[in-house]
Amino acid sequence: MTYIRDLWHDEIRDGFLVTTARKKIWERSLEILAQFARLCARHHWQWWLAYGSLLGAARHRGFIPWDDDIDVFMARPDYNEFCRTAAAELPEPFMLQTGYNDQLLIAFAKLRHEQTAAIELPDWPEYHQGMFIDIFPLDALPDGEDSAQQLTLTLEKELWLLTVQREEFLQTIARGGYTPAMPQSELQTVAALPKRQRLRVFEDMATAAWGSTQTVNHLVEYLVHGSRGNIPLAYLQDTVELPFETIQAPVFREYAQALTNQYGNWREPVQVPNEHAGAIMSADISYRECLRLLDRSVLQAGQPHT
């Protein structure tokens, strides 16, 4: 099946030149999404387009012309089941990458295609760097100023800092720059754990909080960037489909309001830098071959694609 119309011809979309090279990247991305969707359908896990992919579906009926990746949301319970189950069920050349099975600690998952390349870390030859879709868990967030909900969020933030910036966070506490809400004995216990076990404690707390509020978002996104784009839990109960290139993809029925909350005036296209613009991308050559054969200067400089 071909997912991109007129795959082998350049075209202009919304004033932006979309080349066949970019279309091939899109085609592979949709192959990965199709594998993800099949697995979710088998297990009755729900998912929704997220971030730029939702924006692309709503505004362009597919990819944003200058974008090249796919983002999806899953509710925390389904996301946990997906991460526990998917790796054993994925056929080659797909692999599931999480914060527990590769060198880089991440608070979401990537479904990768191992016979392609999306090289962002050329000095990490053992790190899986095939093309991917990003899968973000949605977690409970405070509805307002409720003290119990705010305490949970504070503890989650402290656990995240212990996970990714342990030494800096402990030094800040030691010099009096921050007074933790977490009891000292518990803080010391968590701090002594290996990094991936600290991540597990963080994710276990997020899992325990699921359903305790009426507001959700990707928790780490919230901790880093604040409340922009928070989603009412009720949106997850009502799903519709929007065209995305040649497929239909699930979105919240209230997707327009969700996009307004996230981006403001989302209907007016604004070209922004591509988050993966410096990555070396190939829909045909594996990242292992690229790392082995490409000139070192190309790997270090990156190779913009159009």
**Each residue's pLDDT tens digit, 107-148:** 999 999 999 999 999 999 899 999 999 999 999 999 998 999
Report how far residue 160's alpha carbon sits from residue 206's, in angstroms, rounded to the nearest whole number: 11
Domain ranges of the chain: 11-138+230-301, 147-212
Tokens of 126: 């053992």
Where helices occur in the chain by DSSP H, the ranges are 20-43, 51-60, 76-89, 147-164, 166-174, 184-191, 195-209, 219-225, 255-263, 287-293, 296-301
pLDDT digits (tens, 9 = 90+) for 6-60: 999 999 999 999 999 999 999 999 999 999 999 999 999 999 999 999 999 999 9
Contacts of 46 (CB under 8 A, 6+ apart): 40, 74, 75, 78, 236, 239, 250
pLDDT interval class at 304 (50, 70, 90): low
Instruction: Lowest mean pLDDT of 38-42, 232-236, 291-295, name the range.
Output: 291-295
- State residue 1's pLDDT score: 80
Contacts of residue 300, defined as CB under 8 A and 6 or more positions apart, other chains included, come to 122
- Give the C-alpha separation, 212 to 195, whole Å: 27
Question: What would the two tokens of residue 85 be?
Answer: 């189950």
Q: What are φ and ψ of residue 14, in 5° steps?
A: 50, 40
**Which of 242 and 275 is assigned the larger pLDDT?**
242
By the 8 A CB rule, do 245 and 63 touch? yes
Angle between helices 166-174 and 184-191 (to 10 degrees): 150
Q: Are 106 and 83 in contact (CB under 8 A)?
A: no
The residue type at 91: P
CB atoms within 10 A of CB 84: 9
Give mean pLDDT, residues 149-154. 97
Query: Which amino acid would we find at residue 255?
Result: Y
Q: Say how far apart CA 192 and CA 197 lie, in whole Å.
A: 10
The span from the CA of 276 to the CA of 120, in Å, is 8
Interatomic CA distance for residues 151 and 242, integer angstroms:
38
DSSP annotation of 240 reads E
Chain segment 171-227, per-residue pLDDT in tens: 999 999 999 999 999 999 999 999 999 999 999 999 999 999 999 999 999 999 887
Q: Of the CATH numbers 1.10.287, 3.30.460, 3.30.70, 2.60.120, which one belongs to the domain with range 11-138+230-301? A: 3.30.460
